[in-house]
Structure 1
Amino acid sequence: SGVLSVPGRGPEKQDCIVNRVKRLFPDCITQPAVHRLDMETSGLMVLAFTEEAHRNLNRQFEERSVQKEYIALVDGIIPAPDGQTELFFRVDVDNRPHQIWDDVHGKKAVTEWHAVRTEKYVSPADGTERTVTRVRFIPHTGRTHQLRLAAADSHGFGKPIVGDTLYGTCAPGERLMLHARTLCFTHPVTGKPMEFTSEPDF
């Protein structure tokens, strides 16, 4: 959390996962990122060393054969144990990068979710305690801010993820409580199924 996936505009936005990987592996291709995480999201990413691997992994993402699972703390109590949301969003051209509901021109975002448990969350800003829901998100599409909107938008939970600077609130000392926990894909060279897990630190 707090590190860009790919470089942005300006010298202050050059520290990112892609450039760190290229420093560690100088023979890596120029653009190794196959997908990206929001800057505030922590967890797993896959990057490619070669153009061939990049094409193969890109195709897997396009065909939606890559499986991803995220863990989030949603600000409040979710009444149902599990479900699936189908939401339609497009970028708000007057307020980028915000996404807004548009069931005519928006792109469909499909998210499966499971409420793991409710728990107490203590604000690092003032020590106040509130009830949040730990949710397991399984996105079936890869839309911008898909999980943040599945939580925050009135067509979803109507409750933002804790620490969401775009669709909720982020108190001093907080971060977005969203973590890419599991990533499964087929190895682009060996063809073997690969599964990686990274547990969140919250």
Structure 2
Amino acid sequence: MIQIVFENTHFIICDKPAGVLSTPSRFEEDDARLCLGTALQKEKGFQIFPVNRLDFEVSGLVVYAKTAEAHRKANAWFEHKTVKKTYRALTTGQSYAHIPANVPNEKLKLTPEVGNTFEWRCRLLRGKRRAYESPQGKECLTVAVFRGMQGDYQVWDLNPVTGRSHQLRFDLSRHGFPIVGDKLYGSTVELADNRIALRSYRIDFANANGASALGLPEFLEISSL
């Protein structure tokens, strides 16, 4: 379960598998799901501090700090959006069949070509299970680039400029492109092992103030889907 892709005296960066928690859930004592942060802390024998998180069903790069000071600095990078995260997603072709009739949606027809870039904005509010659009929600911006086809599925690179919970899953779904395996947001494709076809495969630290002084590279990239 523990796949370390980078480690120095300040940080540990792992490739989290899908179907594993990044950090303990609110119901830790009654939650039997595997947790990467807990396992990593036990293996290392000292406290670690989560910097970013991925949904249970999502795989890819997760950053943990080894010290409270490194944690404080890294939190500031993410808060001020100086770290750029890139995700790879597979989706089915555009369809709005999963959007309930009572949910407002312009249902714009999109026929993306390779390299097309979209900026998607909304106000996102997180409910108990899923996110939804609301005037009371937080401002949300996703940059999506269409990369072409992989077999029967469309390939997207996604940059969440804002880091809202379920942001990428919601944005693709509301534009008619539910992520493969993401039944919560409308996918009709079922994947095994509690996973969806969404992976955080690159983190750029080049614009993060002080990152190089803490030994971080300009970027880290692992295999995409």
Report the TM range for the smaller structure's normalisation: 0.7 to 0.9
Structure 2: how far apart are the matches of 1:50 and 1:166?
A: 36
Shift of 1:13: 3.7
**Deviating more after overlay: 76-85 vs 38-47:** 76-85
The aligned residue for residue 67 of structure 1 is: 84
Q: Does 1:47 align with 2:81?
A: no
Instruction: Specify every segment of 5 or more residues in structure 2 that has no aligned partner in the other structure, as ranges.
Output: 1-17, 95-109
The answer on whether the counterparts of 2:20 and 2:33 sit within 8 Å (CA) in structure 1 is no
Residue 201 of structure 2 corresponds to 181
1:151 shift after superposition: 0.4
Larger deviation: 190-199 or 39-48? 190-199
C-alpha distance in 1 between matches for 2:139 and 2:83 = 18
Q: 1: CA distance between counterparts of 2:33 and 2:177?
A: 33
Contact map agreement 1:7 1:13 (CA 8 A) in 2: no
Q: CA RMSD in A?
A: 2.0
Give me the whole-angstrom Cα distance separating, in 1, the residues matched to 2:212 and 2:153.
42
State TM-score, norm by structure 2: 0.74
Query: Is residue 2:116 matched to residue 1:116?
Result: no
Equivalent position of 2:166 in the other structure: 145
Report percent identity of matched pairs: 30
Describe the shift of the 1:172–1:142 C-alpha distance in structure 2 as closer, same or farther (beyond 3 A): closer
Query: C-alpha deviations, 1:117-173, integer Å up to 9, x for none?
Result: 0232xxxxxxxxxx32100001100001000011001xxx22200000311235253
Say which is worse superposed, 58-67 or 71-80, in terms of deviation. Answer: 71-80
Candidates 15, 20, 27, aligned match of 2:46: 27
Q: 1:85 matched to which residue of 2? A: 120
Structure 1, unaligned runs of 5 or more: 121-130
1:50-86 deviations in Å (ceiling 9; x for gaps)? 0000000001111110110000001115513221101
SS at match of 1:100: strand
- C-alpha distance in structure 2 between counterparts of 1:40 and 1:14, whole Å: 12
Instruction: State TM-score, norm by structure 1.
Output: 0.82
**Equivalent pairs, count:** 182
